[in-house]
Amino acid sequence: MLNFEFHNPTHIVFGKDTVPSLNRLVPHDARVLILYGGQSAERNGTLAEVRQALGDRAWYEFGGIEPNPSFETLTRAVEQVRTQNISFLLAVGGGSVIDGTKFVAAAAKYADDPWRILETVGSVIEDALPFGAVLTLSATGSEMNFNSVVTRKATQTKAFFASPHVFPKFSILDPTKTYTLPPQQLANGVVDAFTHVVEQYLTYPVEARVQDRFAEGLLQTLIEVGPKVVHEPADYDSRASMMWAATMALNGLIGAGVPQDWATHLVGHELTAQFGMDHARTLAILLPSMLSIRRESKRAKLIQYAERVWHITTGSEDERIDQAIRKTRAFFESLGVKTRLSGYGIPADAIDGLVQQLQAHGMTQLGEHSDVTLEISRQVFEASI
Amino acid sequence: MLNFEFHNPTHIVFGKDTVPSLNRLVPHDARVLILYGGQSAERNGTLAEVRQALGDRAWYEFGGIEPNPSFETLTRAVEQVRTQNISFLLAVGGGSVIDGTKFVAAAAKYADDPWRILETVGSVIEDALPFGAVLTLSATGSEMNFNSVVTRKATQTKAFFASPHVFPKFSILDPTKTYTLPPQQLANGVVDAFTHVVEQYLTYPVEARVQDRFAEGLLQTLIEVGPKVVHEPADYDSRASMMWAATMALNGLIGAGVPQDWATHLVGHELTAQFGMDHARTLAILLPSMLSIRRESKRAKLIQYAERVWHITTGSEDERIDQAIRKTRAFFESLGVKTRLSGYGIPADAIDGLVQQLQAHGMTQLGEHSDVTLEISRQVFEASI
């Protein structure tokens, strides 16, 4: 096991009918800004519940945070925070709204150009407004971590930052809040959480037995409940297991003390930037090819993955690896997520441009061994046609 | 899954050579009281390392905290805290030292009779001195939870309390600090951690898939590394997995959203009280009988345990359950821990007295269904002869 530090102070309130606990969790003298995305939070009644729980606190609202939240939009929210003298932020939504709220929380307390927060990957953050979250979409784990991704619309740059100052104070996870989501978003959430686990698990062995077992447990859970989440409209148990699995997939726990990869995410960002493709769909396309092409450096863990997650124990090593990758792909497809570039109408001749963009963004040495070169990324794209 | 709240702010620093991080974790202006148990922390050099890391901070020491830390001893530590105007406590030891430090932290800030803290199970605690821990023995999970057990020597009463004010601010987990422990303490730690998991896992199913997988992962890890921990003196990887598994076994995570049992612990306390038996040995004796006698109400989870933890998939349900319980017993015995009362020289005619003590302590409705009556406890003792 590698040396590590683990610290996650977010207070989780999980279960049915938990939105009223806002009254206990938000300071009574707070001036609250509720941040949300589109109109679904209004339509499905969550915003009304939130307003009621806040009682006679002074609250204001900022809507319109996009999927891939933009620096431009969030900068307007920061202005509103200052104008209205806000003391507490409340994100109501999924990963994009929570990521955006993290940026607003940090930028509101930062005197210089807020773009510096992204340029420095968060290292300039010394303070942030406190904030909580009401989660309405399981996928990114943002509800229990200190990471955020913000996009600059002007340049289509996806920028990541992290800081212990932007842990949510609390997150309310009510699985019933996901009942009204469309199947595509639900499927995206399962693929996203699954890939988060794989990025922290499928590297090379370091005798981190607890982390491996936990990662395998999350993958098994997602495999078991994923199809129900997507195809059964209001099944509480599967939504609850999905919600908790997605949170645990990226709250720092399974990644503590182990090497991490993240090449699939970073290469996938170019597909989103160039074609506006949903983040999770980029992962579904690239992950199977990534695992297949990088099988030598991942061999020991791929065989462990085949055995413990997919119960594949016969055949040569490469046959077991191939079978595990086929099953991974079939799992994504079973959720209604296509796993080939061609399924999204992206032609083979787009690959040159994608590789050029990887180069322009400095993505030339990715993965747990920094050995995912542009040439490897090209092979991954080609194997994903 | 049951509704739950999860909040665990303890900062974990894990790995080799991590004691020097005390210099970063303890406030620079702190007046520190180092609390420890016997002379082993001095002999093995850990105390010297701690003193060096504290640098020029004002530090004092309080040694002699017993296994099963006593109210009487801890009350003396509280006096010293007040006399020396201590602002930060540092526990150096295992679960007993950390449990004791929690009591000192709360009592130092409590104006009335400190026994009230135990009488109220911690509910009167409104503040506590901040404290950290350097863990030298893996077993209880006290390094990452807010629970404590204190014994009143005068009456041989074991009293439990809990309060979110007594989470450690940090815990340093260096697996090499366990190298000098005797095999009996190491074996006790494995049994203790294993039973902590079972108390939160082997109840009845509530579709808590993540928690089940995590619990099974911890049990599998303990089964894999337990014998190496006990029989191989300085094997880093097994000590590291044991240390992290024991912490995760009782930090609130696997118990969130599921029913919990704890009858084995509560009945076992009587064996410690009457015969001075190590806590873990009481668990090793009682757990197999407890599972066997309560198999009807635990049937579904026992079968899951047999299959997922011990890979037992053939035979009738009762055969599978019996085999899983036999394997559990054999696992404890493989660590050098006897699993029968007779192995410790306790005769069958002691049972009447033990049952009377359970009654005197109000332990008449234990377990996840409150159906472990005195009669059931008697059967468990009789099956454990």
**Cβ–Cβ gap B216/A220 under 8 Å:** no
| pLDDT over 80 (residue B221) | yes
Q: Is the pLDDT of residue A22 over 90?
A: yes
A153 with A258, same domain: the answer is: no
Residue A187 and residue A170 share a domain: no
Phi, psi of B124, rounded to the nearest 5 degrees: -80, -10
Do B94 and B139 fall within a single domain?
A: yes
Q: Which residue, of B177, B208, B227, is where some domain finishes?
A: B177
What average pLDDT does range A112-121 have in this prediction? 95
What distance lies between CA B147 and its chain's CA centroid?
Answer: 9
Instruction: Decide if pLDDT at B336 tops 80.
Output: yes
3-class DSSP assignment, residue A261: coil
Which residues 6+ apart lie within 8 Å of B113 measured at CB?
A: none
- Say how far apart CA A252 and CA B307 lie, in whole Å: 29
Q: Do A221 and B237 touch (CB under 8 A)?
A: no
Query: A6 in a domain, yes or no?
Result: no
Q: Report if residue B343 sits inside a domain.
A: yes
ipTM of the complex: 0.97
B191 and B331 inside one domain: yes
B72 plus B99 within the same structural domain: yes
> Has residue B341 got a pLDDT over 90?
yes
User: Same domain for B216 and B265?
Assistant: yes
Q: Tell me if A315 sits within 8 A of A302, measured CB to CB.
A: no
Give the residue-averaged pLDDT of B315-327. Answer: 98
- Rounded to the nearest angstrom, the minimum Cα separation between A256 and chain B is 9
Is the model's pLDDT at B111 over the cut of 90?
A: yes
Domain of residue A36, residue span: 11-177
User: Cβ of A241 and B208 within 8 Å?
Assistant: yes
Kindly report which listed range (A84-88, A337-341, B1-5, B39-43) carries the lowest average pLDDT score: B39-43
Q: Is residue B4 part of a domain?
A: no
Per-residue model confidence as pLDDT tens digits over B292-304: 999 999 999 999 9
Q: Are A67 and A142 in contact (CB under 8 A)?
A: no
Q: How many Cα atoms occupy the beta-carbon half-sphere of B36 within 13 Å?
A: 23
Could you tell me the CA-to-CA distances from B351 to A349, B264, B279, B346 in Å, in that order? Answer: 81, 15, 18, 9
CATH at B196: 1.20.1090.10
A224 and chain B in contact, CB less than 8 A: yes
List, for residues B77-91, the tens digit of each pLDDT value: 999 999 999 999 999
**CA atoms of A105 and A102, how far apart (whole Å):** 5
Give pLDDT tens digits for B14-44: 999 999 999 999 999 999 999 999 888 888 8
Q: Is the pLDDT of residue A8 over 90?
A: yes
The residue-averaged pLDDT of B226-255 equals 97
Quick: pLDDT tens for A214-260: 999 999 999 999 999 999 989 999 999 999 999 999 999 999 999 99
Q: Specify whether A86 is located in the same domain as A122.
A: yes
Q: Domain check: are A57 and A18 in the same one? A: yes
Out of A177, A198, A222, pick the residue that ends a domain: A177
Q: How many Cβ pairs within 8 Å bridge chains A and B? A: 121
Tell whether A4 is covered by a domain: no
Residues of B in contact with A248 (CB under 8 A): 210
In chain A, the residue whose alpha carbon lies closest to the alpha carbon of B213 is A217
Looking at residue A323, its pLDDT comes to: 98
Confidence of residue B254 (pLDDT cuts 50, 70, 90): very high
- Residues A115 and A150: beta-carbon distance below 8 Å: no
Measure CA of the first residue to CA of the last residue in chain A; give whole Å.
Answer: 37
H or E element: which one contains B307? helix B299-310
* Domain containing residue B81: CATH number: 3.40.50.1970
Pick A157 or A31 by higher pLDDT.
A31
Mean pLDDT, chain B, integer: 97
Confidence of residue A158 (pLDDT cuts 50, 70, 90): confident
Span of A38-52, B49-63, B204-218, B359-373 with lowest mean pLDDT: A38-52
Together in a domain, A192 and A166: no
Domain annotation covers residue B322 = yes
Inform me whether the C-beta atom of residue A216 falls under 8 Å from chain B C-beta atoms: yes
| B121 lies in the same domain as B138 | yes
Find the helix or strand (DSSP H, E) in which A13 lies. strand A4-14
Q: Is A15 on the interface with B (CB under 8 A)?
A: yes
Is the residue at A1 inside a domain? no
Residues B114 and B188 in one domain: no
Please report whether residue A273 resides in a domain: yes
Task: Decide if A2 is inside a domain.
Answer: no
For chain A, give the mean pLDDT: 97
Q: What are the distances in angstroms from CA B152 to CA A27, B37, B82, B265, B380? A: 39, 17, 22, 18, 27
Domain boundary residue, one of B151, B177, B203: B177
Is B7's CB within 8 Å of A5's CB? no
pTM of the model: 0.97
pLDDT for res B155: 81
pLDDT at residue number B158: 83
Give chain A's domain count.
Answer: 2
**Which residues, 6 or more positions from A70, have their beta carbon under 8 angstroms from its beta carbon?**
A150, A151, A152, A153
The letter for the amino acid at B33 is: L
Question: What separation, in Å, do the N-terminal and C-terminal C-alpha atoms of chain B show?
Answer: 37
Question: Are B139 and B199 in the same domain?
Answer: no
Q: How many CB atoms lie within 10 A of CB A153?
A: 12
Do residues B108 and B81 make contact, with C-beta atoms less than 8 angstroms apart?
Answer: yes
* Shortest Cα distance, chain A CAs vs residue B295, angstroms: 25
Q: Phi, psi (5° rounding) for residue A89?
A: -105, 145
How many whole angstroms separate alpha carbon A196 and alpha carbon A141? 9
